[in-house]
Amino acid sequence: MAKKKQLKVTQIGSPIGRPKDQRATLVGLGLNKMHRSRVLEDTPSVRGMCAKIHHLVKVEEVSA
């Protein structure tokens, strides 16, 4: 059984002064403070959320 790919998403930008939908996307990814990281399953929805706020997050593939 193949392991599912994972992404490490780290918040590098502040949501201050950003539109509500970008703030909500950060919360949806489980991020709420600068330099916090989450390891999430690599799915199209997570990729889309990261693409929407690419200027606020750093995305790395986790080799597990």
pLDDT at 64 > cutoff 70 = no
> 3-class SS at 37?
strand
Distance CA 42, CA 64 (A): 12
Q: What is the pLDDT of residues 3-59, one digit of tens each?
A: 789 999 999 999 999 999 999 999 999 999 999 999 999 999 999 999 999 999 999
Q: Which domains does the chain have, with CATH numbers?
A: 6-62 (3.30.1390.20)
> What pTM was estimated for this model as a whole?
0.88
Distance CA 6, CA 61 (A): 6
Distance CA 22, CA 49 (A): 9
Distance CA 32, CA 27 (A): 6
How far does Cα 62 stand from its chain's mean position?
13
